[in-house]
Amino acid sequence: MDGIGDENGNPPADGLATYSITVPEDGVYRLAFRVIITGGSNSFWVRIPGMATNTTNHASGWVRFNGISDGDAWHWDVVHSDDDNQQEVEFTLSAGTHTLEIARREDGTLLDAIAVLK
């Protein structure tokens, strides 16, 4: 979302993408994003509303996925919490469909694909 601006302090009210994800069984899941990171822009806001995580997150409940590994070619990085010493985030999900929300945090961070990992 190049050109909208940064939202470093709090999740934005706009610039939000939602995805339906379905998991086959109750369990603990991680998310990996395929990204390109250049010019120092290296973060998103991430959440699955109402789902518990193993990490300390922003007061809003959003995960501050900051410090994504740099690279000007597409590469994968597992979602981690900047508010919990870069610990990988584990979402406790029940079997079924959930809504994944991703919001802009730094202008110019690119996202191409999402993987749900068990």
Q: Is 85 a member of any domain? A: yes
pLDDT, residue 1, reads: 41
Task: Tell me if 95 is assigned to some domain.
Answer: yes
In a domain, 3, yes or no: no
pLDDT one-digit tens code per residue, 23-66 = 999 999 999 999 999 887 899 999 999 999 999 999 999 999 99
Whether residue 10 is contained in a domain is answered as: no
Q: What is the domain range of residue 77? A: 16-117
- CATH classification of the domain holding 104: 2.60.120.260
Question: Looking at the domain assignment, is residue 112 inside a domain?
Answer: yes
What is the average per-residue pLDDT within 56-83? 94
Q: What is the mean pLDDT of residues 88-95?
A: 98
Report the domain count for the chain.
1
- Closest C-alpha among 99, 104, 100 to residue 16: 104
The C-alpha atoms of residue 7 and residue 99 are separated, in whole angstroms, by 21
Please report whether residue 6 resides in a domain: no
Is 15's pLDDT higher than 80?
no
In a domain, 4, yes or no: no
pLDDT value for 3: 57
The structure's pTM equals: 0.91
**Residue 40 within any structural domain of the chain:** yes
How far apart are the C-alpha atoms of 51 and 92, rounded to whole Å?
6
